[in-house]
Amino acid sequence: MKTQGGYYDEQTLFLGEWGPFQRIVFFLLCCSIIPNGFTGLSIVFTGDTPSHHCHIPAHYNITVQWRNVCIPLEEYGGTIRLGRCTRYRLDLIKSYSDKGYEPTWNVNVSEMQQEVCKDGWEYDRQQYISTIVSEWDLVCADDWKTPVTPSVFFFGVLTGSFVSGPISDRFGRKIVLFSTMAVQTIFTLIQVFSPSWLWFCALYFIVGMGQISNYVAAFILGMEIMSPSVRILFGTLGVSLFFVFGYMLLPLTAYLIRDWRMLQLALTVPGFLCIPLWWFIPESPRWLLSQGRVAEAEAILRDAARRNGVTAPEVIFEPVQQANQAEKMESHNICDLVKTNSIRCITIVLCVVWITLTIGYFALSLNTPNLNGDSYLNCFLSAAIELPACTAAWLMYRYWPRRMSLFLTLFQAGAVLLLIHLIPQHMSSIAITLEMLGKFGVAAATDIVYAVTAELYPTVLRNTALGTCSMASRVGSISAPYFLYLGNYYKSLPYILIGTLSVLSAFLSLLLPESLGMPLPESINHMQTISCCKRSERSKTYHLTSDKGDEDRPVETM
C-alpha cells in the first residue's frame, strides 16, 4: 500500500529535484539559521569571567611594598596567581605601614588574617572591556550566577520548544518561523539596555524561547518542501553549515568588539536582515495538504512550477482516501507521542539521545574559555571542527543506515572524551585535540538525530515531535553549565560523565527503526515501529482476542 508520504513525493515529481524554486528556498532557509549560531553561544564571551582580585582603595594610605602584598597568592591548575576572593586585612596592613614595618622583614604576611573583598574587585581589562560578570560582579559569593545565566536561557528554549511545536503543527511552519525570529532578534536588542543581572536573565529567557523554535521551524519547513534527495542534503549539511557559519563569526566578532553591550548590538544585525525572507519563503505544501487545504498547497506548487519553467498538471492532488483525510483533520497534540507502546518507545529513546547530545554539545562549546591558549582561537576551532562533522554526517546519512550512523558518531564522541582523563596535565595540546574530536562526534550525531527524528514521525506530528525532543534535550542544556562546574572539584569529571552518557546512548540508539529509503510518513498509521514494542503489542492483541474464543484468535501469532 502506498503511503501518503510517497503519494506527495510522486505527485510533485513534475517540479524536478533542484530547480530555481528549490535552490532559493534551500538557501534562504539556511540563511535564517545564521543568527542562531550567534545567539545560542554568545554567552561564551558576554558571560566570561576575567581575571580579578580584590580592589584596594586609594584612600588606604599605605606604602608601595604593603600594597604589593595585600592580595594572598593561591594555586590554581598548577600555577600560582593572585587570590580572587580574599585579601589581607587592610586595617592591620594600615597599622603596620604607619609604624614603618616592612612586609617579610618585620611581618610574616602569609600568617596575617584575611577578609573578603569589601570594596569590590579589579578586573583584567586586557581581554575584555566588560562582560556581564565584570559589570555586575558575578564572582566569589555570587559566582553561582555565572552558570545560572545560560541555564535561564535554556529554560527559555525549553519553554519555546514546548509551545512552538504544537502551534506549528496547528497554524503552520512559516508563521512560527518568522514570529520566533522576531522574538529572538528584538529581545536580544533590548538586552543591550539591561540595567541589572536579573533584567538580563529575564530577557535572556525570552530570547531562548525564540532561539530554538525558529531553528526547528526552518528545519521542518525545508524537510517538507525539498525532494527526497535534496532533503538529506538540507537536513544534515545545509542548516548545519549555516549554523556553524554563524558560530564561526561569533569569536571573530567578539575579538573585534570587547564590550558585551556592543557585542550584543552587533549580534542583532543578521536577524533584521532576515525580514525580507517572508516574501520569498512559502508555507509547507505538505503541511497544507495534511490540513485539507488542497487549493493553497496546489497554488504554491503551481508558482514553484512557474519558477522552475515546467508545467504543472491540471489536478496535482487526487482526492485522498476518506480514512486518511479524517485522520489529517483530527487535532493532534503531544499526547500522541506516547499513544502506543511503539511510539512511546521511539519517543523515549530519541529524548534520551537528544539529552545526551545537548549536554555534550553545550558543555564542550561553553568550555572553550577554560582551555589552555587563546579563548577566541579555541572557540573558533570548536566551531570549525563542526564543518567536517557536518560533511561526515551528510555522507553517512546519504550512504549508510541511519541507526549505524547515529551509533558510530555517538560512540566515537564518548570514547575520545573518556580518554581525556588519562592524558597527563602537561600534555594539554593532546587533551584539546581529543576534546575537539569529541565535539566532532557530538556535532555529527546532532545533525543526524535531527534528520532521523524528522523521518520517523508523520507530518501531523513532525513539528510537535521535534519540539518535544528539543524540549527534553533542554534538560541537557540546562545542566551543561553545571557539568563544567564539577570540573572545579575534579578537572576530568565532566569528560568522564559526558563520555559515559554518550557511549550508553550509542547502544540505545540501535533500538530505533531504520528509515533509510522510506518516504516521509503523513499519518500516525504510517509510522514505523520498534520491533520489541511491536511484538509486545501483538502479544497483547493475541491475549485479548484469545479470551473470546478460538474463532477470534489472530491467524498470525507469536
* pLDDT confidence bin for 202, thresholds 50/70/90: very high
Q: What's the longest Cα–Cα distance across the chain?
A: 108
Q: Phi/psi at 509 (nearest 5 deg)?
A: -65, -20
Q: What is the pLDDT of residues 530-555, one digit of tens each?
A: 665 555 444 444 343 444 444 443 33
CA distances from 22 to 18, 275, 281 (A): 6, 20, 10
Whether 84 and 139 have beta carbons less than 8 Å apart is answered as: yes
pLDDT digit string, tens, across residues 500-517: 989 998 998 888 887 777
Report the pLDDT value the prediction gives residue 551, as an integer from 0 to 100. Answer: 41
Q: Write out pLDDT tens, residues 451-472.
A: 788 778 776 677 677 777 877 7
Residues 249-263, mean pLDDT to the nearest whole number: 91
Number of CB atoms found within 10 A of residue 264's CB: 24
Is the pLDDT higher at 296 or at 371? 296
Q: Where does 4-48+141-509 sit in CATH, by number?
A: 1.20.1250.20
What percentage of the chain carries pLDDT values higher than 70? 82
Q: What is the pLDDT of residue 376?
A: 86
Q: Could you report the per-residue pLDDT of 75-102, keeping only the tens digit for each?
A: 765 677 777 888 888 878 777 777 777 7
Contact 156, 89 (CB under 8 A): no
Share of the chain above pLDDT 90, in %: 7
Q: Which three cell numbers stand for residue 1?
A: 500500500
Mean pLDDT of the chain: 79
pLDDT per residue over 26-66, tens digit each? 889 888 888 888 887 888 889 888 888 888 887 777 777 77
Looking at residue 556, its pLDDT comes to: 35
Q: Where are the domains of the chain?
A: 4-48+141-509, 52-123
pTM: 0.74
CB burial of residue 509 (10 Å; 0-12, 13-18, 19+) = buried
